[in-house]
Amino acid sequence: MPKVTIDGVTIEVPNGTTILEAARMIGPEVAPPTMCYYSKLETSGGYCRTCLVKVSQGSEKDPRPMPKPVASCRTQVMDGMVVENNTSPEIHEARAGVVEFLLANHPLDCPVCDQAGECHLQDLGYEHGKSETRFEFPRREFERKDIGDKIQLHMNRCILCYRCVKTADQVTDCRVHGVMNRGEVAEISTYIEKSIDNDFSGNVIDVCPVGALTDKTFRFQSRVWFTKPVDAHRDCVKCCGKVRLWYKGNEVLRVTARKDQWGEVESYDGKTGWICNTCRFDKKTTADWTIDGPSKISRHSVISANHYNSLKALKATIDRQKDALPHGEKVTLGHGALDPNNESK
C-alpha cells in the first residue's frame, strides 16, 4: 500500500487512491476544497481546478516534483509521494485565482440567492477568495428555466461542474439535459423545452454545489438557516427512503438526501443514498416519515462559526465607531441582530 505525505501528515492508503481521497482520510484540515469532484459520481472531477495541489516529490522511485500543480481529485498517489496543499503559498495563490475565475461571471448577489447558506461557492469564496472583484465587464446572463415542474435552472449561477450531467447519466435512466455550446457561453440546457421527467431527477438539486439547480417547491420559502434539519426515513419501493427533512415550525419545507461532511449524499452499505422524487417532492408531512432525530450537520458554510466570529469582530467595530460618534448619536440595531448565538440554535 502506497504511503503519501500531505501537508506533513503521512498516511498509508489503498492502491489507486487519489490524492484528494487520501487527504480526506487524513481529515478536513488537509483536504483540498472541491467544487466539481463528487466521490459518488464516476468520472467526476478535474474541471473546476479548486483542488489543485503541489506535488513536491513524485514518488519514492522518482522523487522529481511534478512540473505543474495537479488536480488532486484525478491524480493517484504513488508510494513516497509528497503533496503540499495548505502549506504551499503557490497553491493558495493558484486557488485564489481559480476562485476569481469561478466568480468572474457569477452574480455576486448571495443575499437574494436561495442557495445562500449552503452554497459551496460561497464557502470557497469566503475561505480562499479575495474581498473584491477585478472583473468589471457585464456578466453573462441567461433566462431562468424550469426543467420540469419541480426544478428550476438558473444558469447565471452555474459553474459547469458537470455533476448534474453525470447524475442524470449514472442515476437516472435517461438524460435529457446536457452541456450546450462551448467555452464561456457553454450552458446546461435541455436545448428544446423539455422537462426532466424521471423518478430520480431531483438528485441533480442535491449535487449542485451552487444555486443553479434549486427545488421549486422550496424556493424562497425560507432562508436555509431558519430551517431545522431532521433525519427521517420511510419504506420506499424506489429508493433508500433515508432523507433529511427541513422544518420550519411544524411544517416540512423541503426534503433532501442526507449529506456527509463533504457535502455529498451519504452512502449506506456502500450504496449511495440517492432519493426518489416521490420522497423528495410528495412526502411533506411529518406523518409520512419516521423521525430518526435531529441531523448532525457540520455547517461547513458562511453561517458556520467563522462567519459569526467575523460578526463578533464587526460588532466590536460598530461599538468602536459608536463610541466615536459625535453628539452621542445612537445606532439602533434590530434586537439580537448581532448576537452570535442568535441563528445557530
Contacts with another protein, residue ranges (CB under 8 A): 45-49, 52, 67-69, 71, 74, 93-94, 97-98, 100-102, 104-105, 134-135, 137, 159-160, 174-186, 189-192
Measured CA to CA in angstroms, residue 2 lies from 10, 56, 86, 179, 292 at distances of 10, 16, 22, 37, 39
> What is the rounded distance in angstroms from the CA atom of residue 95 to the CA atom of residue 97?
5
252: how many CB neighbours lie within 10 A of its CB? 21
Report the residue number, 140 or 284, with the smaller CB distance to another protein. Answer: 140
Helical (H) or strand (E) element with 124: helix 120-128
Report the residue number, 201 or 278, with the smaller CB distance to another protein. Answer: 201
- Beta carbon of residue 33, minimum distance to another protein (angstroms, whole number): 13
User: Do 27 and 34 meet the contact criterion of CB atoms below 8 Å apart?
Assistant: no
Report the residue number, 86 or 221, with the smaller CB distance to another protein. Answer: 86
User: Do 236 and 264 meet the contact criterion of CB atoms below 8 Å apart?
Assistant: no
Report the residue number, 172 or 203, with the smaller CB distance to another protein. Answer: 172
Sequence length of the chain is: 345
Query: Strand 151-154 vs strand 52-57: parallel, antiparallel, or unpaired?
Result: unpaired
With the CA atoms of 230, 123, 27 and 2 taken in that order, what torsion angle do they form, in degrees rounded to the nearest 10? Answer: 120
> What is the rounded distance in angstroms from the CA atom of residue 233 to the CA atom of residue 268?
13
User: Do 218 and 253 meet the contact criterion of CB atoms below 8 Å apart?
Assistant: yes
Report the residue number, 49 or 120, with the smaller CB distance to another protein. Answer: 49
Report the residue number, 209 or 273, with the smaller CB distance to another protein. Answer: 209
> What is the rounded distance in angstroms from the CA atom of residue 312 to the CA atom of residue 340?
7
User: Do 230 and 268 meet the contact criterion of CB atoms below 8 Å apart?
Assistant: no
Query: Which grid coordinates belong to 276?
Result: 426518489
Q: Could you list the beta-strand ranges (E) of 220-321.
A: 228-233, 242-248, 251-257, 267-268, 271-272, 290-294
User: What does residue 256 show for φ and ψ, rounded to 5 degrees?
Assistant: -130, 170
- Beta carbon of residue 183, minimum distance to another protein (angstroms, whole number): 4
- Beta carbon of residue 59, minimum distance to another protein (angstroms, whole number): 14
Buried b / exposed e along 19-39 (16+ C-beta atoms within 10 A):
bbbbbbbbeeebbbbbbbbbb
Report the residue number, 158 or 257, with the smaller CB distance to another protein. Answer: 158
Report the residue number, 184 or 323, with the smaller CB distance to another protein. Answer: 184
Report the residue number, 105 or 304, with the smaller CB distance to another protein. Answer: 105
User: Do 99 and 50 meet the contact criterion of CB atoms below 8 Å apart?
Assistant: yes
